[in-house]
Amino acid sequence: MFSYIDWPLISAFVERWQPDTNSFHLPFGEMTIMLHDVFRILGISIDGDMVTDDSSADHLRTYVSELLAIDPHRLTVDNIWWHGGVAFNSIFIHYLRATPSRVLQTRLTRFLFMFLGGTLFCDKSGNMLRPRHLAEAREPGMMNEYSWGSAALAYLYRLLGVASRADGHQLSGCMKLLQAWIYEYFPVFLPQRERHAVPPDSPRAAMWSVRQESKDLSRLVSLHARLDRLTGREDLMGFVRYRDIIELYIPDRVVRQLGCAQPIPLPITRPDHAYRPSRSKDYAVPVFVRTITRFLSSRGIVSRRPSMIGVDT
């Protein structure tokens, strides 16, 4: 999908992202990517446990050596492990190699590692995978127990916030989700191609037939102008989480997106010690339990499932 990402279109929307509300500020109001969008567009579950494992670097290094069946000391020598990541080609080369006793599970784990690092949780390196995805992939039978949809959304929210800083030059995360979401809600930006015929229960992202679009500045300027002219024509509340990333999820501010009248939104419950300077590297949004409790109590919500923060309250 990388070659077919419409970067000028993505950039035009990123410039309108407001990390305090995790929404795009448009001429007619606010809109955002919601959990049901993730489920319909990508076809991945939004139910289940949060992805919270935060293994140490030493443990992750051990996981990688076990996965590739390579001595830990050889990881650095062979340039497989560097800057806290694993070269994508290394996983691909070792994909078909596995110990005879666990061929199927080992291959499946390697595939899941590549899938998570190469689709839902992409970073800016372009050729590396972060071993933190291994914590859940090491037990393939447990993969369906996690809410990968809310994790992918939390990760994208955070990276949109980072990219919105003055010196932000790149964006990562699940770009397929963001671009397909734009197509879903803004027909004026649809690719000028026929849609694919897909079964009703297939991910909606599979229906868009895209091509490589021009990336010149004039197109970005025209997209800016078109966004400025846009007019406007049940929900879950709380937080979405991916490991140490916890992002506010408040779709009560964007009910116009669902075809309803937009009331005056409730006040924002800001995270403790949020720090959003102009430099992207200093961007930090630590969220503590007291922030979450304050948010839920302000809306009269009592969480029935502590393992999910606001997702199924």
Q: What is the pLDDT of residues 107-135, one digit of tens each?
A: 787 788 888 888 899 888 777 788 887 77
Residue 48 tokens read as 């289940």
Q: 236 pLDDT exceeds 80? A: no
Average pLDDT over residues 274-301: 79
List the structure tokens of 119.
Answer: 């689709």
Residue 234 has pLDDT above 60, yes or no: no
| pLDDT surpasses 70 at 88 | yes
Higher-confidence residue of 308 and 178: namely: 178
- Listed in order, strand segments (DSSP E) in 243-291 are 245-249
Which has the minimum average pLDDT: 68-72, 260-264, 279-283?
68-72
Quick one: what percent of the chain has pLDDT higher than 70? 87
61-75, 207-221, 222-236: range with highest mean pLDDT: 207-221
* Listed range (16-20, 79-83, 299-303, 306-310) with the worst mean pLDDT: 306-310
Q: What is the pLDDT of residue 309?
A: 39
pLDDT confidence band for 161 (50 / 70 / 90): very high
Mean pLDDT computed over 158-173: 90
Q: Is the pLDDT of residue 233 over 60?
A: no
Q: What is the pTM of this model?
A: 0.78
| Of the candidates 181, 300, 143, 307, the residue with the CA atom closest to the CA atom of residue 237 | 300
Torsion angle in degrees (nearest 10) through CA of 229, 233, 234, 236: -10
Q: What does residue 121 show for φ and ψ, rounded to 5 degrees?
A: -125, 50
d(CA 275, CA 162): 11
Whole-angstrom Cα distance, residue 235 to residue 275? 28
